[in-house]
């Protein structure tokens, strides 16, 4: 199987974007846990949770996203599948976080969309010629 630099480059860039988005999630999670008065809450929002709870959600998703982002460099199928799942979870969490930090949420959602596109579009082209398929 021939190596496809564009496909591999897309996943490498997607992995770095997942690491960046995960780091952003960790930072907003820590901010919500430490200083929840920093965030302005909208009254009557349908997905109203305690900001400390949101802090934990963002912190956990962020940590997992960073770890999965680094594991994407191995080229394994499980890392791609988990990367897609975490990016979808991140998109949902940030959609529900929109009233608290709209621009931040939109940036993370945009990064997650690119990560999903990169991980879905590469298929088996991520494999280097000397790699065996996952079993």
Report the alpha-carbon distance of residue 65 to residue 26 in Å, rounded: 9
Does residue 132 belong to any structural domain of this protein?
no
User: Which structural domain range is residue 64 located in?
Assistant: 20-36+56-124
Q: Decide if 70 is inside a domain.
A: yes
Are residues 109 and 21 in contact, defined by beta-carbon separation less than 8 angstroms? no
pLDDT by 10s per residue, the chain, length 135:
444 565 567 788 888 988 998 998 899 889 888 876 666 666 666 666 677 888 899 899 999 999 999 998 888 888 889 999 999 999 998 898 888 788 888 998 998 898 888 888 876 555 544 555 555
How many domains does the chain fold into? 1
To the nearest 10 degrees (0 to 180), the angle between helices 77-96 and 51-71 is: 160
Does some domain include residue 8? no
Examine residue 89 and state whether it is found in any structural domain, yes or no.
Answer: yes
For residues 67 and 121, the answer to whether their CB atoms sit within 8 Å is: no
């Amino acid at each position: 199987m021939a190596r496809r630099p564009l496909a591999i480059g897309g996943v490498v860039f997607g992995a770095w974007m997942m690491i960046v988005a995960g780091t952003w999630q960790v930072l907003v999670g820590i901010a919500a846990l430490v200083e929840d008065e920093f965030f302005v809450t909208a009254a009557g929002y349908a997905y109203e949770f305690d900001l400390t709870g949101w802090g934990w959600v963002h912190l956990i998703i962020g940590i997992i996203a960073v770890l999965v982002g680094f594991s994407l460099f191995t080229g394994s199928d499980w890392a791609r599948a988990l990367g897609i799942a975490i990016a979808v979870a991140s998109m949902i969490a940030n959609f529900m976080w929109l009233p608290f930090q709209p621009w931040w949420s939109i940036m993370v959602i945009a990064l997650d969309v690119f990560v999903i596109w990169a991980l879905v579009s590469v298929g088996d082209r991520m494999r280097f010629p000397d790699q065996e398929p996952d079993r």
